């Protein structure tokens, strides 16, 4: 195990009960599998479901692929996250804009050098879903939850490729 500080990534959607918890667990799985020194967390731009476990449907579909979401609890994105995390991954374009708005507030409250975080789309480097939104499955059917998993797997592998090029993420 490296003594280096981990590279810290935060996955962000609206509610932090469907897309971003799925992204958190899938991205962590591929980072760990590739022995990357990356720490992954998730949050929501809203505070609709504070401290709630992920949506039962997200949990059920994820578990069928071997991903256990049961221990996660929802929380809202905070200004402090811009100081703590290196990379904030937005699940869709509205999330991206909302994250950027909060980052502007963070920049007013803190010196510019304190703000570590870069913002990107989850699908930024994904050639299968290039810069595409991760569609919100909350009001939809089972296929939406499967689509979230498909896209999280594909986009996570694309990020692993990017992290492998960054020497500070390797053990
Ligand atoms: P998520 O999905 O942003 O992927 O967690 C949603 C969860 C809850 C709500 C909307 C989207 N909601 O309106 O409560």
Task: State pLDDT tens for residues 37-60.
Answer: 999 999 999 999 999 999 999 999
Q: Answer yes or no: is the C-beta of 16 below 6 A from any ligand 1 atom.
A: yes
Distance CA 71, CA 121 (A): 25
Task: Enumerate residues 6+ apart whose C-beta is below 8 A from 77.
Answer: 10, 12, 43, 44, 45, 88, 99, 102
For range 125-138, the mean pLDDT: 98
Q: Which ligand 1 atom minimizes the distance to the CA of 74?
A: 5
If you ran DSSP here, which 8-state letter would residue 53 be given?
P
Rounded CA gap, 94 and 101, in Å? 11
d(CA 79, CA 102): 7
CB-ligand 1 contact for 110 (6 Å cutoff): no
- Flag whether the pTM goes above 0.95: yes
Asked whether the beta carbons of 27 and 156 are under 8 A apart, the reply is yes
Task: Give the H/E segment covering residue 143.
Answer: helix 142-165
DSSP letters spanning 27-47:
HHHHHHHTTB-EEEEEEESS-
Name the residues annotated as catalytic.
13, 19, 136
CA distance 131 to 127: 8
Q: Is 13 in the pocket of ligand 1 (CB under 6 A)?
A: yes
User: Rounded CA gap, 7 and 155, in Å?
Assistant: 18
Domains and CATH numbers, the chain: 7-165 (3.40.50.2300)
- Confidence (pLDDT) at 2: 53
Contact (Cβ atoms closer than 8 angstroms) between residue 75 and residue 51: yes
Q: What percent of the chain has pLDDT over 90?
A: 94
Q: What percent of the chain has pLDDT over 70?
A: 97
Rounded to the nearest angstrom, the distance between the alpha carbon of 5 and the centre of ligand 1 is: 32
The residue whose CA has the least distance to atom 12 of ligand 1 is: 15
**Whether the CB of 94 sits within 6 Å of ligand 1:** no
Residue 1: predicted pLDDT: 41
């Amino acid at each position: 195990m490296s003594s280096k500080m981990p590279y810290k990534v935060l996955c962000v959607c609206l509610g932090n009960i469907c897309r971003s918890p799925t992204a958190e667990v899938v991205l962590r799985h591929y980072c760990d599998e590739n022995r990357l020194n990356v720490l992954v967390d998730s949050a929501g731009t809203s505070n609709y479901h504070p401290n709630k476990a992920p949506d039962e449907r997200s949990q059920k579909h994820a578990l069928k692929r071997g991903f256990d979401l049961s221990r996660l609890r929802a929380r809202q994105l905070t200004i402090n996250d811009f100081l703590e995390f290196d990379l904030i991954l937005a699940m869709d374009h509205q999330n991206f804009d909302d994250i950027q708005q909060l980052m502007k507030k963070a920049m007013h409250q803190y010196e510019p050098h304190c703000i570590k975080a870069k913002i990107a789309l989850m699908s930024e480097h994904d050639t299968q879903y290039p810069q595409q939104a991760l569609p919100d499955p909350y009001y939809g059917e089972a296929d939406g939850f499967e689509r979230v998993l498909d896209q999280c797997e594909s986009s996570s592998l694309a990020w692993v490729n990017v992290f492998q090029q960054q020497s500070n993420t390797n053990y």
